[in-house]
Amino acid sequence: MSTTATRRRWLRAPLLLVATLAATCLGALPAHAAGTLISQGKTATASSTENASFTAPNAVDGNTGTRWSSAFSDPQWLEVDLGGAATIDQIVLNWETAYAKAFQIQVSSDNANWTNLTPVTAGAAGVQTLTVTGTGRYVRVYGTQRATQWGYSLWEFQVYGTITGGGGGGGGGTGAPPDSFWGDTSTIPPAQNVVMVKVLNRTNGKYPDSQVFWSFNGQTHSIAEQPYVDMPANSAGRMYFYLGTPNSQYYDFIEFTVGPSVFNGNTTRVDAFGLKLALRLHAHDGYDVQVGEDYQTFQEDRSATFQKFINEVPTEFKQLAQVQAPYRIPAPGSVAAFQPGGQYANYFTSYAQSVGVNETTQFIFGCANTMAGNPNMCAALNRHTAQLPSSQQQDPTQFYLNAPANYYAKFWHDHSINHLAYGFPYDDVAGQSSFISHGNPQWLEVAVGW
């Protein structure tokens, strides 16, 4: 990794791996006679998080060993974007000790106007099953009274019903590619190890399969030679991808750890954008999720993506698409203009000092130095929410509304599947990163674009 904070962020993955393995001993939630489980693996957000270990996606990951936990105040909410309109008939809440005494289940079609489905005034810890009738794309549990001195904490938040609108198939959602983008997944051979990885050429004809390369664990092959990698346990680090030649300047990578029966990984823009990348992870239990650049970004030429970046970011950030063009768009903390002595060295200084932080702009972008041990504040500074009450700092509707902010990160969120991206090292605060994790994985596809 290129910064201390980046290394710190990735080294948390083995802890997630242990938690996921522990969950296999706890067992899954019991089966239900209602409609299909339609919330698992979808985008989840929350009004707040207790800390970076208890983020919103933990409550929809199908893993009863991970959880979301809120700030210690009322009210708080957790919501899931189903990716399309849905009819909803059942909600299952698996509360931790810090449960809600009173709460509402609410639905919305626009993530702004909410309808109450059922009020609960006598909640209880443990698994709580609610029969409901409603329609909407967004579903949330809105807690109004905590049962303990702590916040609200859910192991799992499950929504059952039927997706009726677009975006429901293939673990998709906002900006997700159609199934045809991923090819015939039925032909992916079963893994002899933990998970079978298939690399896809999605360069829109710019490069043949013989010029799309992957490199991992001392091996380098074109996908014409070998499109599959049978990933063993105890694998960790990066898998690189190159276009043209095996040592081309057009390159990028994914990060991952693989346990005996779990895959943890992500695409990342923490250091730079090099190539368009997207992941689709499918597990034996039906879990299916996609992250990475959105379909529109994959469809456009590379030059159009660079120009779009220039058009959409403020003046200070435009140079990022020029200093290493046409190969890379580096993160702002890696560029001299935002480093000490540079033209924009004081970009974050006054704002950071206004909330009691004395740190350089470079280290705020990189969540390094004093920021390395303060993920919530680093995330809030990058998103320009540090001036808000702590209960509002992790609300995605408040992100990037004013300068100074990390508009490099904002760009990748704006153009990623379900708006999830790793734009800076602690972008996993409030569950906004492209990190995916699931037990008993079946296959992983990696789409490489131009």
167 or 331, which is more confident: 331
Looking at residue 26, its pLDDT comes to: 29
- CB-count exposure of residue 72 (10 Å: 0-12, 13-18, 19+): middle
Band (pLDDT 50/70/90 cuts) for residue 11 is very low
Superfamily of domain covering 170-450: Thaumatin (2.60.110.10)
The CA distance from 302 to 205, in Å, is: 13
Which helix H or strand E contains 445, and what residues bound it? strand 441-449
Mean pLDDT of 19-36: 38
Looking at residue 286, its pLDDT comes to: 82
Looking at residue 165, its pLDDT comes to: 54
Those residues with Cβ within 8 angstroms of residue 48's Cβ, 6 or more apart along the chain or in another chain: 70, 71, 73, 76, 151, 390, 391, 392, 393, 394, 395, 430
Looking at residue 350, its pLDDT comes to: 98
CATH of domain 4-167: 2.60.120.260
The CA distance from 412 to 421, in Å, is: 6
User: Backbone phi, then psi, for 338, in 5-degree steps?
Assistant: -100, 0
Looking at residue 431, its pLDDT comes to: 83
Those residues with Cβ within 8 angstroms of residue 423's Cβ, 6 or more apart along the chain or in another chain: 269, 270, 331, 382, 406, 408, 409, 410, 411, 412, 413
Looking at residue 172, its pLDDT comes to: 52
Of the listed ranges 22-26, 70-74, 422-426, the one predicted with least confidence: 22-26
Is the confidence at residue 14, as pLDDT, over 70? no
Is the confidence at residue 204, as pLDDT, over 50? yes
Looking at residue 168, its pLDDT comes to: 35
DSSP class of residue 416 equals B
Residue 401: CB atoms within 10 Å: 10
Q: Where are the domains of the chain?
A: 4-167, 170-450
DSSP class of residue 403 equals S
Query: CA 313 from chain center: how many Å?
Result: 22
Over residues 77-112, the pLDDT tens digits come to 999 988 778 889 999 999 999 999 999 999 998 888
The CA distance from 188 to 245, in Å, is: 26
Beta partners for residue 239, in sequence order: 254
Looking at residue 24, its pLDDT comes to: 29
The CA distance from 43 to 165, in Å, is: 16
Over residues 29-85, the pLDDT tens digits come to 333 345 688 898 888 999 999 998 899 999 998 889 999 999 999 999 999 988 778
Query: CA 304 from chain center: how many Å?
Result: 24
User: Is the pTM higher than 0.75?
Assistant: no
Those residues with Cβ within 8 angstroms of residue 26's Cβ, 6 or more apart along the chain or in another chain: 64, 65
